[in-house]
Structure 1
């Protein structure tokens, strides 16, 4: 009950009406209280002015009996509580007093009428000759409870009237609110309760009479729109559930069908996997045989190179770095002595890996034939013979062509140095491979001829140039294939190049040759970074004297 809208309305209206009534009554009573005090003061002063002559005569005559009669006469007034009459010497001539009134609100009356209950009147006697003389004093005290009795009655009547007004107004307003708001809301609530949750849009709520255009009518129209939206959503849900059921049934059929297909495919995959495993096993066998063949080819290719243990006997200082990109490679070098003179040859054949290794075998065979049968003291002549004989060996000279050799175009770049210590000179000839040498701390370069060996485009009668350099103690000579200069690396992925090669060598000219080579390879590895090796690499550095 106490949580209902009617009770809340009644409580709110009653509190508001009561507050307004109390404020209004307080204003009225305050004005009445002030007027009452002023009236009491004026009446008492007029009353005392009436008895002033008699009291002054009694005091002038100093007659106690007359003074006592006058005081008792004043006490006949109900509001007077005590009367005292004194002469001009301060002696009390008369005093009368009654018990204070028994009004229950006397304590409040004393506070409300404080300042207007005690009066002191000087008694002045007028002589026949017109002289005025003060002959005494009359003190009168009024009883506050008696004085305030009428005021308290008016306060009680006013409060009763206010309470009655509050109750009446509250009942009228509550009745109006109930009739205009609460009752239509209860009808709307009853209509909402009758709505079928399964079909909310089929039972629209009726608009309360006389509320079609106000907020209640708008509320009902909004609720009807909401119920219609609910109905539409439920219909869409039912339709979606039907479609989902059909889709689930269709998916089950497709899953069953696909399961059968997958089982058949699984059988095919298992058969294919078995065949693949068999092929993989066979491939492993073939790969193992190929790797064994390549490792054996590496041993054969290494056997074609000079014996590293005999190299220190040829020069004062020498370092050789030979690093195929794969197990075998297309770089080849030869170092040996003929008739008291040392010969150093470096070759960079076409390709790398197994094809390059085959080319090095051919080049090594041709070089050995040239050195032992034709020439060993003329680097330019050696290159010219290499060019002609390799073209012939690979059938790239235009004669004796076969279907297998029609499309071949292989060859090499090379450099040959002849060191004649007795004559104090070094003779160099190059085919696209330069010679670097250091004298007195300065690095120099001699470029080889721009002509490769053995290719179809290589001229069979091309004449290579010899370059002669005088030997001095401490001079160092360097040969390197393009596996050094063509390595990609650095921040911008550019070639290492000859400029960086020269800088790397110039920074370590005072080191032993092995340390120089280690330093060069370290710089090259740092420059390469994460890039892969691009080609085979060969480096030879030697100090003849």
Structure 2
């Protein structure tokens, strides 16, 4: 029985690491053992101590830039097959990497377990052919007595090898073109879905007509979003919500459509304005829709939500939350309303779940924030760590007395500065209301 091949991947992004773990757990990749490091330095040390058949190398590492790390690897391990992984769509970079000796160049998320296995086998075969050519060439060059015969055989062998390389390269390019075409079709469909999703979201003017000093920071991670904001005015009260559905991208967006529809039905059609009652009804409806009320049935999907009802006649704010808080800043002092430690929807729980609420009288100049966890969980900074709640509170304390437009600009600037070259890890939603 053939032993599994050892594959080393140098990748610093935790999401990408998990993606490849999942990918290599597929049955068609079961003949490979995947080993992971997150720094070039650690990867080189691992290669010195272990026998590795193929290296998967990310171009964007904290301790290397573009092809620098690849060149270092090739200098120290010239016979190691290397497949370049990158999120950049740069064909020139692909050509350059192959010219420097890479066996292949793959864009992340544009292949499946079949293509990955094919690429690894191709890298091994190509490296094997190249090593065979080198070996044969050295032997033939040392055989001076058979120089004429050697030259003919070497030429024929080179032609055969080049033909194999050309054929395999053409096959790979065709596969890439096929995947790129499929990706284009998927992207176009997602862009259309994004247009629909944005069309049904309430325009910011719905909130600004009633609370002029307000803003919404909304940055989906993917083309479509699992976070969404919602607002309505009924019975003289303004209801506003920041919602974070399970996941992001297409799964999150599908769940967000259900949540958006249910909020409209509960508030607009049924006239319910008390936040705890809204969340209790929403939780019950989502469990029914997702078949979650019976043990061992249905999905575990759900949503976290921060929802408030503003009564401008009584200067009163009523609030209820499911895993998401409401922040109020008054004269530089922060008050946190934590809500309930259970989500909307989710796996079976015995009996109806009732949500508790809070309320307070607001004063002129109070600033209220509703938000999902994407901003706080973003990796970045000098050490690649999460932004965290502590930094978020400090930032809001610094900006809460500014006009809404300037608060929005400050939040966007800080987010982009912190994120730097890191990938956005989740959908971002922050709603600010200056009373």
TM-score, normalised by the number of residues in structure 1:
0.50
The verdict on how the C-alpha distance between 1:335 and 1:261 changes in structure 2, with shifts beyond 3 A counting, is same
Question: Of the candidates 342, 367, 372, which is equivalent to residue 476 of structure 1?
Answer: 367
Match of 1:455 in 2: 346
Q: Secondary structure at the match of 1:507?
A: helix
Q: Equivalent of 1:284, from 176, 180, 184? A: 180
CA distance in 2, matches of 1:363, 1:433: 16
Q: Flag structure 1 segments of 5+ consecutive residues without an equivalent.
A: 1-242
Per-residue CA distance 1:341-388 (angstroms, 9 max, x = gap): 000011111111222211211211222222244452111121122222
Separation (CA, whole Å) in 2 of partners of 1:351 and 1:518: 27
Cα 1:252/1:356, change in 2 over 3 Å: farther
Distance 1:514 1:534 in 2: 25
- Name the counterpart of 2:14: none
Question: Higher relative contact order by CA 8 Å / sep ≥ 6: 1 or 2?
Answer: 2
| Mapped pair 1:409 → 2:300 | yes
CA distance in 2, matches of 1:244, 1:494: 56
Q: How far apart, in 2, do the equivalents of 1:474 and 1:245 lie?
A: 86
Do the aligned partners of residues 268 and 429 (structure 1) sit closer, same or farther apart at CA in structure 2, a change above 3 Å counting? same
Q: Is the 8 A contact 1:388 1:460 kept in 2?
A: no
Q: Secondary structure at the match of 2:319?
A: strand
Determine the structure 2 residue equivalent to 1:215. Answer: none
Q: 1:537 to 1:249 in 2, by over 3 A?
A: farther
C-alpha distance in 2 between matches for 1:245 and 1:354: 59
Q: Which residue of 1 aligns with 2:418?
A: 527
Distance 2:142 2:417 in 1: 67
* Contact 1:348/1:413, CA 8 A, preserved across alignment: yes
What are the equivalent positions in structure 2 for 1:36-435 lying under 5 Å apart? 247-249=143-145, 256-374=152-270, 376-398=272-294, 401=297, 408-435=299-326
461 and 245 in structure 1: CA distance in 2 versus 1, 3 angstrom threshold: closer
State the SS of the aligned residue for 2:360.
strand
Distance 2:216 2:377 in 1: 19
The verdict on how the C-alpha distance between 1:537 and 1:245 changes in structure 2, with shifts beyond 3 A counting, is closer
Q: Give the number of the structure whose residues are more often helix, by fraction.
A: 1
Q: How many residues align?
A: 297
SS of residue matched to 1:359 = helix
Alpha carbons 1:387, 1:458 under 8 Å: kept: no
Residue 409 of structure 2 corresponds to 518
1:375 and 1:381 in contact (8 A); partners too:
no
Cα gap change, 1:384/1:442 in structure 2, threshold over 3 Å: closer, same or farther?
same
Across the aligned residues of Structure 1 and Structure 2, the Cα RMSD in angstroms comes to 2.7
Query: Residues of 1 paired with 2:290 and 2:373: CA distance?
Result: 23
The DSSP-based 3-state class of the residue aligned with 1:478 is: strand
TM-score by length of 2: 0.62
